[in-house]
Amino acid sequence: MTNDEIRREAALLFPGGVNSPVRSFRSVGGKPVPIVRGAGAHVFDADGQRYVDYIAAFGPLILGHAHPAVVDAIAAAAAEGTAFGALTPGEVELGRRVMQATGLERVRFVNSGTEATMTAIRLARAATGRAVIVKFDGCYHGHSDGLLVKAGSGVATFGLSDSAGVPAEIAGLTAVLPYNDPGALREWFASHGAETAAVIVEPVAGNMGLVEPSPAFLAALQEAPREHGALLIADEVITGFRLRFGLSNLLPGADLVCLGKIIGGGLPVGAFGGRAELMDQLSPAGPVYQAGTLAGNPLVMAAGVATLDLLSSGAAYTRAEELARHLENGLVAACRRAGVPGAAVRSGSMLTLFFREGAPRDYAEARESDTARFGRFHRAMLERGILLPPSQFETWFVSAAHTEADIDQTVKAAHDALAGEAHL
């Protein structure tokens, strides 16, 4: 099938032609690219076109596509049986690695980041006997009802549903505060501390484009909830094992940590963990229910073990970060030469090019970016063989499989794509 044939049939089969919204390319105004194969830092569409890939499955593929050791591990596991609904040694293998690298005393594997955050919140509510949770505008924690909530007017407000089908009563249990605003967080706790069960946050925000936390914000996150008997949930679904081997280390005071993406080596995964005393409130050890037919699946565990084994020396982080730094510098130079306002924000091997002056500190500032320009840029890069995440508000992922030649090709494409943009 050709690209067009796949798109045509998908449009009849799936709502919006896709199985996850951002894949539709609607926010950049292009046609989705059907990918048939990946190898290292490259993917290939159904028409045979090759792209340098910065989507990287939205984060898991820090080693690139189809790393031989990961593929072999999955194949070996599959040959022994794909699912058992029973305890398996693979879970113990991956669990041990995750716990040694993170310091979490107990962990539970689930199938997605959404399940991890959803259950961490249930656990926090049970542990505190309180209902309200706090999230930050522009952070994404998956699609459970209570987290699909946007800010109302005002600095610190109870949230409004951000999706049809989320009852106002549920959205009203989530407060939405601005990211990087320690004052708003402290004020929230001064007025609503006694009813707040937990604060959930991305230590580095990756879902409004990349937005880095300020030291004062990180300090307030670790102080304010604790002072008022609430829990801190660090959503490290993106940052865990991405910025370094283990947790980001930006929120060492977190009570619960959510993981996903990299620890599954590109297969469906999520996990959450924390102190034994807290985690042991989960079923069957305790009264908080959670379960999963395919949780701890042997193929996923094998892919995760192979991935963490390859990452544990730290060399892949050094390599991916060095390449990401080259890319950052090249993008800054391309914007400057074209006379286009641009801010390349990078944390380790994650990066976003915002079309605005200066790095945004929160979602309001991120939204000031020129999204129409990003759409043009995305299409121009695609024509030049570069596959960027299809939204201004997604993070680009550099892998250890990218090469200097990939980065050079990307920077050259950015120079070409941006030439003439200043006048638009």
Ligand X SMILES: Cc1ncc(COP(=O)(O)O)c(C=O)c1O
Nearer to ligand X, 263 or 413 (CB): 263
**Active-site residue 140, yes or no?**
yes
255 is catalytic: no
Of the two residues 132 and 233, which places its CB atom closer to ligand X in the complex? 233
Give dist(CA 297, CA 83) in Å, integer. Answer: 6
The count of C-alpha atoms lying within 13 angstroms of the C-alpha of 53, restricted to the half-sphere facing its C-beta, is 28
Quick one: tokens of 85? 């609904």
235 belongs to the catalytic site: yes
DSSP reduced 3-state for 39: strand
Q: Please report how the helices 298-311 and 315-338 are oriented relative to each other, as an axis angle in degrees rounded to 10.
A: 80
CA angle 216, 257, 296 (to 5 degrees): 160
Q: For residue 50, list its beta bridge partners.
A: 44
CB of 374 vs ligand X, minimal distance in Å? 19
Residues that bind ligand X (CB under 6 A): 58, 112-114, 117, 140-142, 202, 206-207, 235, 237-238, 260, 270
Q: How far apart are CB 394 and ligand X at their closest, in Å?
A: 9
Residue 384 DSSP SS3: coil
Q: Which is nearer to ligand X, 102 or 114 (CB)?
A: 114
Residue closer to ligand X by CB (options 113, 273) is 113
Residue among 17 and 260 whose Cβ is closer to ligand X: 260
Which of 128, 136, 118 is CA-nearest to residue 198?
A: 128
Residue among 57 and 224 whose Cβ is closer to ligand X:
57
CB 127 within 8 A of CB 115: no
Q: Which of 137, 235, 255, 406 is catalytic?
A: 235
Alpha helices in 175-232 (DSSP H): 182-192, 215-227
Peptide bond into 213 cis (omega under 30): no
Question: Closest distance between ligand X and the C-beta of residue 298, in Å?
Answer: 19
Residues 6+ apart with CB under 8 A from 89: none
Say which residues have a Cβ less than 8 Å from residue 234's Cβ, sequence separation at least 6: 201, 203, 247, 248, 250, 251, 254, 256, 257, 258
| Burial group, residue 109, by CB count within 10 angstroms (0-12, 13-18, 19+) | buried
Give the CB-nearest residue to ligand X: 113
| Distance of alpha carbon 154 from alpha carbon 400, whole angstroms | 43
130 within 8 A of 230, measured Cβ to Cβ: yes
Residue 405: count of CB within 10 angstroms of its CB: 10
240 or 375: CB nearest ligand X: 240
Give me the active site residues, please. 140, 235, 261
